Chain A
Amino acid sequence: MASLELRNVVKRYKSQTVLDNLSLTVADGETLVLFGPSGAGKTVLLRLVAGVIDPDEGKILIGGEDMTDLDAEFRGVGMAFQNFALFPHMTAFDNIATPLQANRSSQSAIKTGVQSVAKLLKIGHVLSHKPRALSNGQKQRTALARALVGSPPVLLLDDPLRNVDAKLRFEMRLELPRLLADRGATVVYVTQDYKEAMALGDRIAVMSQGVIKQLGTPEQIYREPANIEIARLFGDPTINLLDVKPSRDAKGIYVGLSNVQVHLAGAYETAVGRDCVIGLRPEALSFVDEGTPAAIPVTIEAETPLNEKIVTLVRTVRGREILVSRPAGTPGQTEGRAHIGVDSKSALLFDRASGDRIGSKNVVNLRSGEAA
Chain B
Amino acid sequence: MEHTSLLERILRGIALTLVVIFFMFPIVWIFMMSFQTNETILRIPPQLVFKPTLANYTALITGKLTTAAGTLDIAFMRNLWNSVFLSVTSVAVALLLGVPAAYAFARHKFRGSEDIAFTLLSFRFAPALLVLLPLTLYFQKLGLANTYIGLIWVYQLICLPLILWIVRGYFEDIPADIEYAYRIAGHSWFATFRKIALPLAGPGIAAAGLLAFIFAWNNFVFALVLASADKQPVTVGALAFITSSGIQYGQISAAIVLSITPTLALALYAQRYLVEGLSLGAVKG
Residues of A within 8 A of B (CB): 47, 50-52, 71-73, 75-79, 81, 83-89, 98-99, 101-103, 131-132, 139, 146, 150
Contact = CB atoms under 8 A, between A and B. Distances in A.
A52 B196 contact: no
Contact of A85 (B188, B199, B282, B285): B285
A186 to B, nearest CB: 15
A146 B285 contact: no
Interface string B162-194: 000000000000010110111111111100000
B181 A79 contact: yes
B199 A89 contact: yes
A84 B181 CA distance: 9
A57 to B, nearest CB: 21
Nearest to B176: A52
25 contacts: A52-B180, A52-B184, A71-B188, A71-B189, A72-B183, A73-B183, A77-B184, A79-B181, A81-B181, A84-B285, A85-B181, A85-B285, A88-B178, A88-B200, A88-B284, A89-B200, A98-B181, A98-B182, A98-B185, A98-B187, A101-B185, A102-B187, A131-B285, A132-B285, A150-B186
A51 B200 CA distance: 23
Nearest to A86: B285
Given A85-B177, A89-B199, A78 B184 contact: yes
Nearest to A76: B186
Nearest to A53: B180
Kindly list the 5 A-B residue pairs having the minimum CB-CB distance in the complex, ordered from nearest.
Answer: A102-B186, A85-B177, A72-B183, A99-B185, A98-B185
A137 to B, nearest CB: 14
B283 interface: yes
The residue among B187, B188, B285 with the most chain A CB atoms within 10 A of its own CB is B285
Given A89-B199, A89-B200, A102 B180 contact: no
A116 B109 CA distance: 41
B205 to A, nearest CB: 14
Contacts of A146: 181, 185
Nearest to A52: B180
Contacts of B284: 88, 132
Given A81-B177, A89-B200, 8 more contacts: A73-B188, A79-B180, A83-B177, A89-B199, A98-B185, A99-B186, A102-B186, A150-B185
Contacts of B175: 83, 85
A41 to B, nearest CB: 17
Nearest to A84: B285
B186 A87 contact: no
B114 to A, nearest CB: 16
A288 B185 CA distance: 59
B181 A51 contact: no
Contacts of B199: 89
A271 to B, nearest CB: 47
Interface in B57-101: none
Contact of B180 (A85, A86, A89): A85
Interface in B175-230: 175, 177-178, 180-189, 196, 199-200
Nearest to A131: B285
Contact of A79 (B178, B184, B285): B184
Nearest to A94: B195
A102 B185 contact: yes
A87 B177 contact: no
Contacts of B178: 85-88
Contacts of A51: 183-184
Interface string B250-285: 000000000000000000000000000000001111
Contacts of A79: 180-181, 184
Interface centre among B180, B183, B186 (most CB of A within 10 A): B186
B282 A72 contact: no
Nearest to B200: A89
A71 B180 CA distance: 11
B206 to A, nearest CB: 14
Contacts of A102: 185-187
B196 A87 contact: yes
Nearest to B181: A85
B184 A50 contact: yes
Contacts of B184: 50-52, 72-73, 75, 77-79
A87 B282 contact: no
Contacts of B177: 81, 83, 85
Contacts of B181: 79, 81, 85-87, 98, 146
A83 B285 contact: yes
A103 B200 contact: no
A72 B184 CA distance: 5
Nearest to B283: A88
Contacts of A71: 183, 188-189
A302 B199 CA distance: 58
Given A73-B188, A81-B177, A89 B183 contact: no
A47 B180 contact: yes
A122 B49 CA distance: 72
A88 B175 CA distance: 11
A73 B189 CA distance: 9
Nearest to A82: B177
A309 B186 CA distance: 47
